[in-house]
Amino acid sequence: MRIEWATHWELREISDDNDAVVWVDLARADAIWQLDNLYIPAGAPDHRPKHEKFESWLIKATERVEMAHVAVSEGNSLSFTNGRHRFAWMRDHSAQAVPFTIWKGQARRLAKLVGTSLKVCEVKSPAG
């Protein structure tokens, strides 16, 4: 299943000159997210309800999925402002690449740490 993405500013029809989109290698991004205290381990049972809710929405969705918004913290850990459950769901469904929005001042740093040339996100079908 191919995931179609949108930025928060596209979904809300607002302009945002402060953020950029960076496509990242999911496995590498997950590795640096593990340094953050809000990390969600693969298959974490206490997060299952949010993942099931997202999956139910995704199966029926007629709109694009909102990109997660991130920051790179000191020590090069990944920190989510919005979207950590969507990201964890993508990881748990074998995505190889996802796009993030990030403050333009950190975009180059994120791309250097975990960026990818892959610009498509495909996951194992949630319906089976």
User: Could you read off the pLDDT of 11-68 as tens digits, one per residue?
Assistant: 988 888 899 999 999 999 999 999 999 999 998 899 999 999 999 999 999 999 999 9
Task: For the chain, give percent helix, strand, coil, nearest 5.
Answer: 40, 25, 35
Domain positions in the chain are: 2-122
Q: Which residues are CB-neighbours of 122 under 8 A, at least 6 positions away?
A: 1, 2, 3, 95, 96
Burial of 16-54, coded b for 16+ CB within 10 Å and e otherwise, reads: eeebbebbbbbeebbebbeebeebbeeeeeebeebbeeb
Residue 62: both structure tokens together: 């007629």
Write out the H or E segment, with its range, that includes residue 122.
Answer: strand 121-122
Q: What is the pLDDT of residue 58?
A: 95
Q: What is the pLDDT of residue 127?
A: 65
89 vs 74, more confident: 89
Tell me the pairing of strands 5-6 and 65-66. parallel
Q: Hey, what CATH class is 2-122 in? A: alpha beta
Under 8 Å between Cβ of 97 and 26: yes
